[in-house]
Amino acid sequence: MMNKPEVLVPAGTPEKLKVAIDYGADAVYIGGERLGLRSRANNYSISDMAEGAAYAHSHGAKVYLAANIVCHENELEDNISYLTEVRDAGVDALIVSDPAIISAVLTKVPGLPVHLSTQASAVNYEAVNFWAKHGLERVVLGRETTFEEIKEIKENTDVEIEAFIQGAMCTSYSGRCVMSNYMNKRDANRGGCAQNCRFLYNLADESGSSLNGDEMFTMSAVDMSLIPVIGQMISTGVDSLKIEGRMKTIHYVSTVANVYRTAVDTYCADPEHFEVDPAWIDELAKISQRRMSFGFFNGAPTKDDELFEHTKPDLGYEFIGEVKGYQDGRVIIQERNNFSEGDELEFYGPNFYHYLTTVNDLQDEDGMKIERASHAMMICSIAIDKELPVGTMIRKKKAAKVRA
Write the pLDDT tens digit of every residue in 371-387: 999 998 999 999 998 99
Where residue 110 sits, what CATH number does that domain have?
A: 3.20.20.70
Q: What is the mean pLDDT of residues 39-63?
A: 90
Q: How far apart are CA 307 and CA 141, in angstroms?
A: 23
Alpha helices for 327-370 (secondary structure H): none
- Give the count of domains, the chain: 2
Q: Is residue 171 part of a domain?
A: yes
Q: What does the pLDDT look like over 299-354, one tens digit per residue?
A: 888 877 777 765 554 567 899 999 999 999 999 999 999 999 999 999 999 999 99
> Does residue 142 sit in helix, strand or coil?
coil
Where residue 363 sits, what CATH number does that domain have?
A: 2.40.30.10
142 touches 134 (CB < 8 A): no
Q: Are 122 and 226 found together in one domain? A: yes
Q: Is residue 211 part of a domain?
A: no
| Cβ neighbours around 64 below 10 Å, total | 24
198 touches 231 (CB < 8 A): no
Q: Are 251 and 279 found together in one domain? A: yes
Q: Is residue 212 part of a domain?
A: no
Say what the pLDDT of residue 1 is: 63
Q: Are 288 and 322 found together in one domain? A: no
Q: Are 170 and 47 found together in one domain? A: yes
Between 103 and 72, name the one with better pLDDT: 103
Q: What is the dihedral of CA 245, 68, 293, 241, to 10 degrees?
A: -80
Q: Are 67 and 163 found together in one domain? A: yes
Q: Are 339 and 395 found together in one domain? A: yes
Q: What does the pLDDT look like over 41-50, one tens digit per residue?
A: 568 999 999 9
Confidence bin at 38 (pLDDT 50/70/90): low
Q: Is residue 114 part of a domain?
A: yes
Say what the pLDDT of residue 78 is: 79
Domain, as residue range, for 367: 317-403
Q: Is residue 205 part of a domain?
A: no
Q: Are 54 and 160 found together in one domain? A: yes
Long-range CB contacts (< 8 A, 24+ apart) of 80-89?
80/104, 80/108, 80/109, 82/32, 82/34, 82/35, 83/35, 83/108, 83/109, 83/112, 84/108, 84/109, 85/46, 86/32, 86/46, 86/49, 86/112, 87/111, 87/112, 89/46, 89/47, 89/49, 89/50, 89/53
The torsion region of residue 352 among left (phi > 0), alpha (psi -120 to 50) and beta comes to left
Q: Is residue 214 part of a domain?
A: no
> Does residue 388 sit in helix, strand or coil?
coil
Q: Are 90 and 13 found together in one domain? A: yes
Q: Are 294 and 325 found together in one domain? A: no
Q: Is residue 185 part of a domain?
A: no
Confidence bin at 191 (pLDDT 50/70/90): low
Confidence bin at 202 (pLDDT 50/70/90): confident
25 touches 245 (CB < 8 A): no
Q: Are 224 and 77 found together in one domain? A: yes
Q: How far apart are CA 93 and CA 104, in angstroms?
A: 14
Q: Are 262 and 370 found together in one domain? A: no
Q: What does the pLDDT look like over 361-370, one tens digit per residue?
A: 999 999 999 9
Strand ordering across the sheet containing 344-349: 353-358, 344-349, 393-397, 317-327, 330-335, 379-383, 363-364
Q: Is residue 146 part of a domain?
A: yes
Q: How far apart are CA 280 and CA 366, in angstroms?
A: 38
Q: What does the pLDDT look like over 70-81, one tens digit per residue?
A: 887 777 887 889
Q: Are 143 and 249 found together in one domain? A: yes
Residue from 337, 241, 246 nearest 39 by CA: 246
| Cβ neighbours around 117 below 10 Å, total | 26
